[in-house]
Structure 1
Amino acid sequence: MQVTITAVGPDNCGLADPIVHYVASAGANIHEIQMFDHDRDKIFAMMLRIEWPETSGTVAKLRSHMNEIGQLKGLSIRTWSRDEHIRPPRVAICSTYRPEPVVALLRAMRDKVIKADPVVMIGNRPACRGVAEQFDVEWHDVGDDGGNPNNDQIVELFDQHEVDYIVLARYMRILPPATCWKFAGGRIINLHHGLLPPFPGFRPYEDAHAHHMLTFGATIHFIIPELDAGNQIINQGTFSVAPGTPLEEIKRQGETDNEPSTLVEGVRRVIDRDVELHFQKVVRGQN
């Protein structure tokens, strides 16, 4: 059974050793290991992707041992496996202003196009609260008056609802590296409203229009803690316009049609395990 273990906490000596030693002694095959030391912030982060032998006990037992190590070493440790439970994956959806991607995602889950359950919606603005109520999904507004999110609360909500995947559906805030590490290994999916890599940033429609582009698009990619999206692209959707098409019309087409459909297909690929994230690259899944 494939299991992902993440550990984040204050930097110190010997933090990785007890985790690696335990899983190796239990007969686990370590497929991938990443560690990062934020010298400036004195933060340690680690991600292990292992094959856990059923003869060594359940994932719950492994999680219990990892939590004991976390308490001993002052680490926030999460032990996760898609195969631990016989149920559809549980999804958290984060949003800011635009409702169209969220509506498309919830419709796709309702209609079983995406075989997953939306268990919580989180917004740093209240714009999508009505959508959550329409689809009977628990809603939490984590933003202050300026839209600045309470990132600790976000992590608590992810843990509380035992989410398998997190979808940033036009969530217009950057998740802190510590949050990305806690849910590393291909668990955070982002909708970027432009084509990557040429048009990153918060205004990709405007940037592409300024370059006189006639093809626009959206990108679905895995979020990873330390690198910009490159080899993490899950899906891209494009549309073409005639020369001289006003920017407002381009954005309307992109926001109401292309972004939602591109997001649905990208999330479906992850949920159906058509793709996975190994060594920071998207690979064919083992479904």
Structure 2
Amino acid sequence: MQVTITAVGPDNRGLADPIVHYVTGVGANIHEIQMYDHDSERLFAMFLRLDWPADVEPIPVLRERIMQIGTQKGLTLRVWARDEQNRLPRIAICTTYRSEPAEAVLNAIKEGVIQAQPVVIIGNRDRCQSLAEKHNLDFHNIGDERGNPDNTEMVNLFDSYDVDYVLLARYMRVLPPNICWSFAGGRIINLHHGLLPSFPGFQPYEDAFSHNMLTFGATIHFIIPELDAGNQIIHQNAFAVSPGTPLKEIKRIGETQHEPECLVEGVRRVIDREVELHFHRVVGIETI
């Protein structure tokens, strides 16, 4: 059974050894291991993707032993296996202002296009609270009066709702590295309202328009701690406009029609396991 283990905490010596020795001692086959040591921040982070012998030791036992190591070493550890429980994947949807992408995903779930269970909507603004009420979902605003998020509360909510995947549906804040590491391995999906890598940043419509582009689009990609690493695109699509089309009309098409459609397809690919994230690259399951 494929299992991911993440560890985040204050940097120190000998943090990785007990985790690696334990899982290999039980008979796990490690497919991927990444470690991060940022001297200036005194932060240690580690990600393991492995094939776990669940017939030898059940996942709950693995989790208990890993948590014991975390307590001993002062690390926050998480053990995640999508196949551990016989249920639909649980999704947390994060938003800021625009509700169309999130609502498109919720409608696709109701229609059976996406085989998942939405469990909570989290915003750094109140704008999408009515969307949560419409779909009978809990809503939590983790932002202050300026929209600055409480990232600790965000992580606590992910854990309390037992979330499998985090969906950033036009969530207009950058996640800090510790959250990216905590849910590493393809568990955080982001909608970027522009074509990557050509138009990153917060104003891709305006940037493309200023370059006299006639093609605009959206990109669905996995989030990883290194923002400029690239190669994490799940799905990307574009739409063309006629010369002279005003920027306002371009943004209307993109925000209300194109972005939602693109996000639905990207989420579906992940939920249906057509793609996974291996070594910071998106790979098709049929090629593994």
Q: What is the TM-score with the length of structure 2 in the denominator?
A: 0.98
Secondary structure of the residue aligned to 2:206 is helix
Spell out the pairing of 1:31-110 with structure 2 (5 A cutoff).
31-110=31-110
Change (3 A) 1:207 1:229: farther
TM-superposition CA deviations, 1:111-169 (whole Å, max 9, x none): 11100000011000000000000001111000000000000000000000110000000
Secondary structure of the residue aligned to 2:149 is coil
Secondary structure of the residue aligned to 1:3 is strand
- Separation of aligned partners in 2, 1:246 and 1:285: 41
- Separation of aligned partners in 2, 1:31 and 1:110: 35
Instruction: Name the counterpart of 2:212.
Output: 212
Instruction: Name the counterpart of 1:22.
Output: 22
Spell out the pairing of 1:44-193 with structure 2 (5 A cutoff).
44-193=44-193
- Separation of aligned partners in 1, 2:140 and 2:262: 25
Cα shift at 1:41: 0.3
Secondary structure of the residue aligned to 1:54 is coil
- 1:109 aligned partner, one-letter code: I
Structure 1 gaps, min length 5? none
- 1:276 aligned partner, one-letter code: E
- Separation of aligned partners in 1, 2:44 and 2:230: 24
Query: Contact 1:96/1:128 (CA < 8 Å) preserved in 2?
Result: yes
Structure 2 gaps, min length 5? none
Secondary structure of the residue aligned to 2:65 is helix
> May I ask how many residue pairs the two structures share in their alignment?
287
- Separation of aligned partners in 1, 2:119 and 2:55: 32
- 1:212 aligned partner, one-letter code: N
Cα shift at 1:228: 2.3
Query: Contact 1:235/1:262 (CA < 8 Å) preserved in 2?
Result: yes
- 1:159 aligned partner, one-letter code: D
- 2:139 aligned partner, one-letter code: W
Instruction: Name the counterpart of 2:238.
Output: 238
The Cα RMSD (Å) is 0.9
Change (3 A) 1:229 1:125: farther
Query: Contact 1:234/1:282 (CA < 8 Å) preserved in 2?
Result: yes
Instruction: Name the counterpart of 1:2.
Output: 2
Spell out the pairing of 1:267-286 with structure 2 (5 A cutoff).
267-285=267-285
- 1:47 aligned partner, one-letter code: F
Query: Contact 1:191/1:219 (CA < 8 Å) preserved in 2?
Result: yes
Query: Contact 1:27/1:53 (CA < 8 Å) preserved in 2?
Result: yes
- Separation of aligned partners in 1, 2:152 and 2:235: 30
Secondary structure of the residue aligned to 1:56 is coil
TM-superposition CA deviations, 1:75-124 (whole Å, max 9, x none): 00000001000000000000000010011011011111100000011000
Identity percentage of aligned residues: 65
Cα shift at 1:241: 0.2
Cα shift at 1:54: 1.9
- Separation of aligned partners in 2, 1:151 and 1:37: 21
Q: What is the TM-score with the length of structure 1 in the denominator?
A: 0.99
- Separation of aligned partners in 2, 1:238 and 1:14: 48
- Separation of aligned partners in 2, 1:264 and 1:148: 27
Secondary structure of the residue aligned to 1:60 is helix
- 2:197 aligned partner, one-letter code: P
- Separation of aligned partners in 1, 2:60 and 2:114: 27
